[in-house]
Amino acid sequence: MKFEDVTFTGPPFDDAPLLNALPPELAAFLLEENGFIAVRGGFHVRGACHEPAWHSLRVAWLGPESVASRYPTVRPDDIPFAEDAVGDQFLLRHGVVHRLSAETGEVESLDVGLSDFVSRAADDPIEYLNLGPLVAFEDTGGRLAPGQLLNVYPPYCVDAPGERSIRAISAQEQHRSLARLAEEIRDLTDGTRIRIVPKAQ
């Protein structure tokens, strides 16, 4: 599948043990190209490499700050092989792709396998991957650099009046911020009033 607007391609793979631990279909996919960032930052597929850390599938899957370590809804054997522009994660769970809403920690099955998921993402990435935030960011002249994600304030999970601000921050910072938000609102019921204090710039 050919993706448009590729802004980063992964280095040669240097993590053979991890590659050998992956399902054959995902391993074969990464052997063709060791991950990439496409759609101008809207779709990031991680690679079997140690560096850069933000591109490493090992870091996201098995590291001390793995996706599973931050979200109770993610199982240790869920493979966070990709993410979108705001840091929502795409997990491979027993051959089926699931989407983790990183703001809330909710996991939803997309009811497709890896091949179908990649094909649909390549055919219509803006619609299929919900890349509205990226389009809004670009409409203001913004551009995502490799290693960055979009931070949205107030978060989309909050019913707030007025416009939302969208800015680019490091992927690591965005992952930590979203996981902290999901933890803090985990036990709240719908309609609960909350106060979000933005981090000082």
pLDDT in tens, 159-172: 777 789 999 999 99
Q: Are 171 and 148 in contact, with CB atoms under 8 Å apart?
A: yes
- Residue 72 buriedness (CB in 10 A; 0-12 / 13-18 / 19+): exposed
Q: Is residue 9 part of a domain?
A: yes
What would the pLDDT profile of 10-58 be if each residue is shown by its tens digit? 999 999 999 999 999 999 999 999 999 999 999 999 999 999 999 999 9
- Residue 158: per-residue pLDDT: 81
Q: What share of the chain is helix, strand, coil (3-state, %, to 5)?
A: 35, 20, 45
Question: Considering the domain boundaries, does residue 82 fall inside one?
Answer: yes
Mean pLDDT estimate for the chain: 92
197: in domain = no
**Is the residue at 61 inside a domain?**
yes
Window from 28-32, 97-101, 141-145, 194-198 with minimum mean pLDDT: 194-198
Return all residues near 145 (Cβ < 8 A) that are at least 6 apart: 7, 41, 168
Residue 195 has pLDDT above 70, yes or no: no
Q: What's the CA gap between 42 and 190, in Å, rounded?
A: 29
Examine the pLDDT at 189 and tell me if it is beyond 70: no
pLDDT surpassing 70 at residue 152: yes
Tell me which residue range forms the domain holding 105. 1-186
In-domain check, residue 134 = yes
Percent of the chain with pLDDT over 90: 83
Kindly tell me if the per-residue pLDDT of 179 is higher than 60: yes
Number of domains in the chain: 1
Q: Is 79 a member of any domain?
A: yes
pLDDT band at 69 (very low <50, low <70, confident <90, very high): very high
Q: Is residue 191 part of a domain?
A: no
